[in-house]
Amino acid sequence: MLEVILNGIILGMGVAVPFGPVNILILNTALSSFKNAFCVGLGALSADVLFLVLINLGLLSFANNEFFYKILAVFGFFFLSFMVFLMLRKTRKVNLNKVNKTHPLKGFSKGFLLNVTNPYVIGFWVSVAGLSMQSENSFALLFGLVGFIVFWIFTLSFFVSKFKALVKNKHIFYINLFSAFILEYFALSMLYKAFIG
């Protein structure tokens, strides 16, 4: 059983650690508030869990449909692009001395929408569902996987928030700009892969 949990943890590392849209958003939010950044991650994770439950119940069998995949890619593109717009709009207004006063539920919603509109997330969880069905102990595999994702969300949010004193207000412009470009890259990449190849 320990080996299966370890396999889940390794799978969780492969999913959580690479810097995709969710990690960029967590990093960006953690510069203002640990709690909000952690809620972004939990929102993304709740979308993951929702997909996993729906897949295991057989309710996402239509997700393999190419038309649905393209619709989701378009929604994902517009949502990510909107996030980029908001990020660029506030680049010069951010003040690290003022803690972000937005409600943690807003961060949770952003994380949830970010993952629920990403067709690659559905593809990943379809694969995991297949793996868990083949595993001798699917609960242990999912425990290791989800456990590591929660650990990563907490660690990333905590350390960025803890060491934000090293980041000066003048650096925020460049951090937001860099984050915005990466998010827009993911948005365009999503469209390109869905419609071109």
pLDDT band at 151 (very low <50, low <70, confident <90, very high): very high
114-120 mean pLDDT:
82
- Give dist(CA 142, CA 51) in Å, integer: 13
CA atoms within 13 A on the CB side of 189: 11
91-110 mean pLDDT:
69
Q: What is the pLDDT of residue 99?
A: 47
- Residue 37, domain extent: 1-196
Most confident of 82-91, 126-135, 188-197: 188-197
Q: How many domains does the chain have?
A: 1
C-alpha of 129 from chain center: 19
Give the CA-trace dihedral at 68, 69, 71, 73, to 10 degrees.
160
Give the CA-trace dihedral at 26, 28, 29, 32, to 10 degrees.
140
- Residue by residue, DSSP assigns 41-71 as HHHHHHHHHHHHHHHHTTTTGGGG-HHHHHH
Cβ–Cβ contacts within 10 Å for residue 100, how many? 18
